[in-house]
Amino acid sequence: MNKSELLKKATHYYFMQNKELHENGDTTKRRNYIYDMIDCMNRYINCGGKYLGRSIYKPMIELKEEYYEELIFTPTVEDLEEMKYWL
């Protein structure tokens, strides 16, 4: 896969996770989209891509950082529902 396709896929996953967040909240499906977005971004960088520094990609970079700093440690909607069931 070439660099432009990786960047397009990363952008697509960003918009899909945003749509999922607004429709259903922070679900496992959203986390999977974020993971796929980060994977494409990392592969893009490893292929020598340089456009992620542009301001239009700033929200994607911030989401990547938030995922590793905060989201990875917080429960999803499904996790909270399961906790309620067991309580």
Q: What is the pLDDT of residue 43?
A: 95
3-state percent breakdown (helix, strand, coil) of the chain, nearest 5: 85, 0, 15
C-alpha distance from residue 76 to each of 4, 47, 53, 56, 85 (Å):
32, 32, 30, 27, 14
Q: What is the pLDDT of residue 73?
A: 86
What is the domain extent for residue 17? Answer: 3-86
Digit-by-digit pLDDT tens for the chain (87 residues) are: 799 999 999 999 999 999 999 999 999 999 999 999 999 999 999 999 888 888 999 999 999 999 888 888 888 999 999 998 888
Question: What total of structural domains would you count in the chain?
Answer: 1
Q: What is the pLDDT of residue 46?
A: 94
- Residue 56 CA to residue 15 CA, distance in Å, equals 13
Q: What is the pLDDT of residue 57?
A: 92
